[in-house]
Amino acid sequence: MTQRKRLSNTQGRRSDPLEEDDSDLTFTQPSTSQVQRGLDKFTGSQMDQKAAEVIQYILVKDQKKIPVRRADLVKHVLKDYRYIYPEIMKRVLQTFDQVFGLKLVEIDTKNHLYILINKLEPQEGAAGPPNPKMGLLFVILSLIFMKRGAVKESECFQCLLYICGERHEQFGDVKKLVTDEFVRQRYLECVRIPHTEPVEFEFHWGQRAELEVSKAKILDFMGELHNQDPQTWSQQYKEAHAPPPAAPSTSQPNHSQR
Amino acid sequence: MPPHLGDSHRRFLQSMMSNSVMDEQQARALYQHCCDIHKAQCVPDKLDDFIETINSKLQPMFMQIRKGMSEDNGQQYYALVNMAETDVTRMSSDYADNELELFRKTMDLIVSSENGKVSSTDVLNVADTLTIKKLKKSEAEQVLNRLVQDKWLNEKRGEFSLSIKCIIEMEPYIRRMYEDQLKMCHICHNVAFQCQICDSPTCGIKIHNPCVARYFKGRVEPRCPACDEFWPYEIPGISFYISIYKST
Ligand SMILES: [Zn+2]
Ligand SMILES: [Zn+2]
């Protein structure tokens, strides 16, 4: 058996605001001989060039914080190089690490979605002018965290209404920012609450938030806000200072070689 | 030995990625800041060497941090540029095809103008001649607003000019596209849009307004650096001197 098709999209895909809804079928697990032929066919500098294209592609997506799908990467960029995908990605990861200080992480192992996260320690007020949207996001994430992981949509909007009104000078439509942008960027996850009529939703932390935002920092922030020792929220404190769960399947986009 | 890239360089690069364009003062402050965080040595007037080190690692990706002078205030600006795609199509994820056509036509008008500017009336008139899909006047106005907001165009009193971000990022494209129509500055040898042109019919060299200010500063009788004819224009005023002072 040389080729196994990945039928990852057979389970009903949840409506995903990604641009292209194409299956992962374009990526076929290469056989060893295909890999070898690929490696023979392309020179080192050709592979570097292809890696450069992959990097460009991922950076463009990342600018809008849209996760990259492996299927799109293969279809639009790798093309003939698909059989040596791991070899190309090795170069890509190395460059992200050494030149940009970024790390490519798979956030969805079923649909093979990747995002870039920062390897450098976040700095207050670094990276140019502060981003007010991120401030708002931080508030929402704090709210969810203090409520042990989930906040009803209606409750969240009530709180935001209180903080910044319905339309904000800089954000425009606040609701839209939260439900469209933050959810698309995977900072938030919007989940239907089962057995509700009319239908109700709640917000959870999205995968990007889990990877990029420190719960301990959030708790410190809450402590300062309420002038209270963070340790008094014992549950949250335990969660914030727990050892990180098994590291997110690192970088090397999985290629199960048998 | 190739220069070594440290976390201070990486942090600087990340900031360049999230800010589309940065003036020299901001870039200097950022350089200092990145060095402080990572306890790297910061030599105040070595910003360009620092950037050169980053560029040497970006080169295989066809990316580069480029510098350019604003034609409005003579200040230097920095932007991270994707050299693999320096034409207008790079904007295709943000603009529809007919909107890009309008932008191209606006560029055409600016390049072929005497003074590097085009009036909004002239731009709105070409909106009628788009080949892909015509834009209504109100739609075209909105597109222009977005182009200003996204910092591709500058707008001043109903006239549009190319922004510094546009000039830095698209210079290779502009040079290729408009080859013989382009004016080059006699002083700094870069593309010039808003400039003064020597009056002498056999000479006709061009000089950017800020370059004029810098070159003729303190000279009693301004003369063309190429043909030595009298330079008949007003030398850009005090505001230029101030901004030039700040940047040197
Ligand atoms: Zn000049
Ligand atoms: Zn002359």
Residues of chain A with pLDDT > 90, as a percent, come to 24
Q: Give this prediction's pTM.
A: 0.76
B1, part of any domain: no
Whether residue B154 is found in the same domain as residue B134 = yes
Whether residue A167 is found in the same domain as residue A220 = yes
B46, part of any domain: yes
Domain limit, last residue, from A87, A118, A149: A118
A194, part of any domain: yes
A178, part of any domain: yes
CATH code for position A86? 1.10.10.1200
Indicate the number of domains in chain A: 2
Given this model, what pLDDT does residue A9 score? 37
pLDDT band at B224 (very low <50, low <70, confident <90, very high): very high
Q: Which residues of B touch A120 (CB under 8 A)?
A: 7, 10-11, 14
Whether residue A97 is found in the same domain as residue A150 = no
CB contact under 8 A, B15 and A126: yes
Q: What SS3 class is residue A234?
A: helix
Residue B229 CA, ligand 2 centroid: distance in Å = 6
CATH code for position A233? 1.10.10.1210
The encoded tokens of residue B110 equal 């600016």
- The range of the structural domain enclosing residue A81 comes to 32-118
CB contact under 8 A, B26 and A63: no
A5, part of any domain: no
Instruction: Report residue B136 CA to chain centroid gap.
Output: 29
Domain limit, last residue, from B87, B110, B137: B87
Q: Which residues of A touch B93 (CB under 8 A)?
A: 60, 64
State how far the alpha carbon of B54 is from the alpha carbons of A96, A131, A216, B49, B58, in Å: 13, 25, 33, 9, 6
Domain limit, last residue, from B41, B68, B87: B87
**Residue A127 near chain B (CB below 8 Å):** yes
A12, part of any domain: no
pLDDT per position as a tens digit, B40-87: 988 988 999 999 999 999 998 889 999 999 988 888 999 998 887 767
pLDDT band at A170 (very low <50, low <70, confident <90, very high): low
pLDDT (average), residues B237-243: 54
Contact A78, A50 (CB under 8 A): yes
B39, part of any domain: yes
Indicate the number of domains in chain B: 3
Whether residue B224 is found in the same domain as residue B157 = no
Tell me whether the omega of the peptide bond preceding residue A198 falls within 30 degrees of 0, making it cis. yes
A248, part of any domain: no
The encoded tokens of residue A218 equal 């959030």
pLDDT per position as a tens digit, A42-78: 888 899 999 999 998 899 888 888 899 999 999 999 9
Domain limit, last residue, from A85, A118, A151: A118
Task: Among B5, B11, B58, select the one facing A120 at the smallest CB separation.
Answer: B11
A19, part of any domain: no
Task: Among B5, B22, B33, select the one facing A126 at the smallest CB separation.
Answer: B33
Whether residue A168 is found in the same domain as residue A222 = yes
Residues of chain A with pLDDT > 70, as a percent, come to 76
| Residue of B248, B207, B191, B201 lying closest to B229 (CA atoms) | B201
Whether residue B192 is found in the same domain as residue B165 = no
- The range of the structural domain enclosing residue B200 comes to 182-247
CATH code for position B128? 1.10.10.10
pLDDT (average), residues A96-118: 92
Give the residue, B7 or A176, on which the prediction is more confident: B7
Instruction: Report residue B82 CA to chain centroid gap.
Output: 15
Q: Is the pLDDT of residue A23 over 70?
A: no
A176, part of any domain: yes
Using a 10 angstrom Cβ sphere, with 0-12 exposed, 13-18 middle and 19 or more buried, the burial of residue B102 is buried
Q: Which residue of chain B is at minimal alpha-carbon distance from A55?
A: B61
CB contact under 8 A, A100 and B10: yes
Task: Among A95, A98, A127, select the one facing B14 at the smallest CB separation.
Answer: A127
Whether residue A233 is found in the same domain as residue A140 = yes
Whether residue A145 is found in the same domain as residue A232 = yes
pLDDT per position as a tens digit, A82-91: 888 899 999 9
* Unique residue bearing structure tokens 């190089």: A81
Distance from C-alpha of B22 to C-alpha of B20, rounded to nearest angstrom? 7
Whether residue B14 is found in the same domain as residue B58 = yes
Whether residue A161 is found in the same domain as residue A101 = no
Give the residue, B24 or A245, on which the prediction is more confident: B24
A43, part of any domain: yes
Residue B77 CA, ligand 2 centroid: distance in Å = 29
Given this model, what pLDDT does residue B242 score? 52
Whether residue B188 is found in the same domain as residue B235 = yes
Whether residue B99 is found in the same domain as residue B175 = yes
Task: Among B13, B14, B60, select the one facing A52 at the smallest CB separation.
Answer: B60
**Residue A134 near chain B (CB below 8 Å):** no
pLDDT band at A16 (very low <50, low <70, confident <90, very high): very low
Mean confidence (pLDDT) of chain A:
78
CB contact under 8 A, A48 and B60: yes
**Residue A52 near chain B (CB below 8 Å):** yes
Minimum distance, in Å, between the CA of residue B10 and any CA atom of chain A: 5
